[in-house]
Amino acid sequence: MNKITQAISLTVAGLLLFGHHVLALTPGQQIGSVMGGGNFTNGSVTQINQFLALQTIGASMARMNVYPQYYYANGQPTPERLDSVMLQAYQSGVTPILLFEYYGSYANNGQPLGDYNYWYSIGHDFAERFRPGGVWAQANGIQDWGITVYTAMNEPDVENLIDKTAYRNALEGLADGVHAVDTILKVNPGGFARANSNSDYSLRGYGPAIAELYNTGKLDGIDLHTYFDVQYSPMDGMYKFSAQSNFDSVKRVSGITADVNFYSTEFNFKKRLVTEEEAAKGFLTAIWDHLGVVKNDGVTSATQFAFPWSLFNSTAVDTNYGMNSSLAPWTPTARGITLQTVLDKTRGMSFVSMDPKQTGEYKLSGSGKTMWVWQNRPFWTNHAGTSYTVTGIPPGAYKLEVIGWDGVRQTIPLMGETSVTINQLAEKETYMFVAYTDTIRAEVSNGEAGEAGNELTP
């Protein structure tokens, strides 16, 4: 048994729980399989507690970021430097996406961006090694698991120092290199910041510079970083700063006509000028905003994954974004608990319908449960208020939970009702309503031993 295997004590049951999956919120895709966090940096194998935190939370994706000296040295790409951390990820039931870091300011320190051929070689060699069924997987006897999303250059629109043509050429090289290995693999730019922070939907010109790469299918989706802030990017009284609105605006202004996908490797509701509890209330809205982004038809899921920032930072070092007071053992803040509540209540469920632009409602089902999500905020729904009618309750449902950012607020017994109206709801916050029809699955998934009137049987 090697040191990496010894370092992580995992059971076969744990692997079965998380499974190995393909990306995207396609029919049947569970919510936890497209949520995760970052960063796992430069192939380090000392970040085991982060993998354990993802397991505890119920999220099964991660962003691995690699800096230039770790992905290219001595005139060639160096993907083998990630071999050990890839094994850790696999053993943890966590699927990584890969970010090749580069900032324009690196040129001042003698680190140029590199041309098309440089990035082609990086894309080709990393994809060849780490794609499902690639060199690394074959060497380790692993099937149907690997990196399927490759990205480069995080937030270039913040510094605005990378030449736009050079940026385009680099991304085209990366995409062509990856696709030379397997055309199914996805390539994207690293996340953009300015749509959210400055309502700059051209992303300082980087959007139009790469529009052709989207429109010809070389790039798969747009990664937008969304940080809600009560002063600078508020939720109250407007929809402008939502992930959906920013996504639509970037496509329109940047000339992206392809029906591309949506990604977010960073989002949160800042704890700035608000309490942690107030941030958690906004964070629940943000979670469903990012999970529920739709394509041009307004109903088809566009979201491929959504990663809150930062699951792994404590509040002691990151007041605005930290989501724990201790990583080991995992001790979440109110926002961390809110995320765990979403992942717990949606376990085994997938989207049935999505309508973020009109009703602000989503419906999910699976594992003996049906969930209705309502973004009860003015401009986020066309019927904001203090009451909500749950319709289409399935036959055999025995209880309905009313859930807010702070957990279950009300449990309503059901005896054949097909609809129920809940009154006296708080305004300006998101609600989840869950109907349970399969007693055994519902109680086990919530870690309960049973309850009066619903005895578990073999």
Q: 15-29, 223-237, 271-285: which range is least confident on average?
A: 15-29
**Confidence at 27, pLDDT banded by 50, 70, 90:** low
CA distance 147 to 82: 11
| Residue 453 burial (10 A CB sphere; 0-12, 13-18, 19+) | exposed
Q: Report whether pLDDT(16) > 70.
A: no
Interatomic CA distance for residues 268 and 125, integer angstroms: 34
pLDDT (0 to 100) of residue 381: 98
Mean pLDDT value across the chain: 91
Q: Is a pLDDT exceeding 80 seen at residue 21?
A: no
Mean pLDDT of 329-349: 97
Asked if 161 and 200 touch (Cβ cutoff 8 Å), the reply is no
The DSSP letter of residue 94 is: -
Amino acid identity, position 76: Q
Q: What is the pLDDT of residue 349?
A: 94
Band (pLDDT 50/70/90 cuts) for residue 15 is very low
pLDDT score for 438:
72
Decide if pLDDT at 378 tops 80: yes
* Overall average pLDDT of the 278-283 stretch: 98
Query: Picking from 18-22, 91-95, 98-102, 336-340, which range would have the lowest pLDDT averaged per residue?
Result: 18-22
pLDDT of 178-227, one tens digit each? 999 999 999 999 999 999 999 999 999 999 999 999 999 999 999 999 99
- Which backbone phi and psi does 297 adopt, to 5 degrees? -80, -5
Q: Looking at the predicted structure, is the pLDDT value of residue 18 above 90?
A: no
